[in-house]
Amino acid sequence: MKEIELGAVQERFADIVWANEPIGSGELVKLCEKELKWKKPTTYTVLRKLCEKGLLQNVDGIVSSLVSKEEFYSVKSEQIIEDSYEGSLPAFIAAFTSRKKLTKAEVDEIQQMIDSFRKKGE
């Protein structure tokens, strides 16, 4: 997947679509009015821009994603690590944990992920 740049408002809009897809465009307008205080033209403008970027599609008034939420945020997190930590996941984790203490459950979950990756490599 190519990197798709979104502003904070576009990202919030995409989150609404991901949480409700597939969704009729009329229903999406109502949700955006309720959650974002947008008028109908604003919703359709942002929808059109995200369709042009290849993130969403609007087919016969039904809006759905072309890129899953998980895939989008995975690429975004990879880019943050690449740009800010020279591609080093350990450097990112060191920086993250220097300010936020991990719970035992989080450490256990991370360890399980590491163990799983090790088994796949054997």
pLDDT in tens, 2-42: 678 899 999 999 999 999 999 999 999 999 999 999 999 99
Question: Could you tell me if 62 and 25 are in contact, meaning their C-beta atoms sit under 8 angstroms apart?
Answer: yes
CA nearest to 5, candidates 57, 80, 96, 81: 80
Where are the chain's structural domains? 8-69, 88-122
Write the DSSP symbol of residue 21: -
Q: What is the pLDDT of residue 109?
A: 94
State whether CATH 3.40.50.2300 applies to domain 8-69: no
